Copies of this chain bind each other. A is one copy, B any other.
Amino acid sequence: MTVGSTPGELATYLETHKAQVDAALERAVANLIDDLSAEVREATSHGVTTGGKRLRPVLCVSAYEACGGRIAPATYDLAASLELIHAYSLMHDDLPCMDDADLRRGRPTTHRDLGEDATMRAGAALIPAAALQALGACRALGCDDGRAVAVTRALLEAAGAGGMVGGQWLDLLGEGQALDADELDELHRRKTGALLEASLLMGGLAAGAPSRVQACLREYGAAIGLAFQIADDILDATQSAETLGKNPSDAALGKSTYVALYGLEEARERAEMEVDRALEALDRAELRAPMLRALARYVIDRKK
């Protein structure tokens, strides 16, 4: 088994890559709206450039590197395409007709600052922008057209009705109902898991990973996706909205949570099991990937 990194190494790694991802996101937003007005720039930037852990892009870059890719600025551009999709989903999730949230990452949500109409449009604009961003980054990384299509398909499938939006639907339909374990897993496999899985897969595909490794990366992604969601539910149950920088909690919205389903103790055990499954997938892939190992633990050890 490959040896993991120390907590200090992980913190430095996260910080370094996050800074590069943030720079790529600034480029992406500037590119998206360069010939439109200041109002448009403001609304689009609001949802994209307001912090966050940048977990999906960092996973993408890590997978790219683990599969033998040489990191270049375009690697971060590719990774940023995932964050554009993630940012759109949060902007739309927070709208009054959805979760009606006032806070996100400790700041007013986009619609509170700039209105519902601007938030809807800015969110929707990010979806084609993300796909174009992925295509452009693949070209810059020297991927041939076939590989660029595969990478972009992975992003689009994760973002669509079979993935994230499908999970959001299940989330809507499940409000006020007690979902069973399979239903809750299915919801989060789509809602959170699909894009995390795509993060790994896109990095691997862009670096030319063979299909055996692609399958392991997907399993790693699916496992940390579930672990991530269980950890989210634990944080929601044990931390204040102020610490988390967002409100309201899923429990307050009448949504099923892993903590409600299993209790805190068993939820923690299940998160650990998913992390183990992720690490086993890396072992099977025979990748030298200390940072992917450290990231799997980070997903459940994080404090917000």
Contacts and interface: CB of A to CB of B under 8 A. Distances in A.
18 contacts: A97-B117, A97-B120, A98-B117, A117-B172, A118-B172, A121-B169, A121-B172, A124-B124, A125-B165, A125-B166, A128-B160, A129-B160, A129-B161, A131-B152, A135-B152, A145-B145, A148-B149, A152-B152
B132 A39 contact: no
A81 to B, nearest CB: 12
Contacts of A173: 37, 39
Given A92-B120, A120-B95, A149 B125 contact: no
Interface in A146-201: 146, 148-149, 152-153, 155-157, 159-162, 165-166, 168-170, 172-173
Interface string A112-137: 00011110110111011101100100
Contact of A145 (B40, B44, B144, B166): B144
A14 interface: no
B129 A131 contact: no
Interface stretch (A28-36, A72-80, A229-237): A28-36
Dominant secondary structure of chain A at its interface with chain B: helix
Nearest to A161: B125
A125 B35 CA distance: 27
A137 to B, nearest CB: 13
Contacts of A117: 97-98, 172
Interface in A97-114: 97-98
A170 B95 CA distance: 22
B121 A124 contact: no
Nearest to A116: B97
Contacts of A166: 36, 40, 125
The 9 closest A-B pairs by CB, nearest first: A145-B145, A128-B160, A97-B116, A128-B156, A125-B165, A127-B127, A125-B161, A145-B146, A128-B159
Nearest to A34: B162
Contacts of A40: 161, 166, 169
A127 B39 CA distance: 23
Contact of A161 (B44, B118, B160): B44
Contacts of A155: 128
A32 B92 CA distance: 20
Contacts of A44: 161
A123 B152 CA distance: 20
A128 B131 contact: yes
- Please indicate which of the listed interface residues A123, A125, A156, A161 has the most CB atoms of chain B within 10 Å of its own CB: A161
Contacts of A37: 169-170, 173
B98 A120 contact: yes
A160 B146 CA distance: 23
A243 to B, nearest CB: 28
Contacts of A88: 124
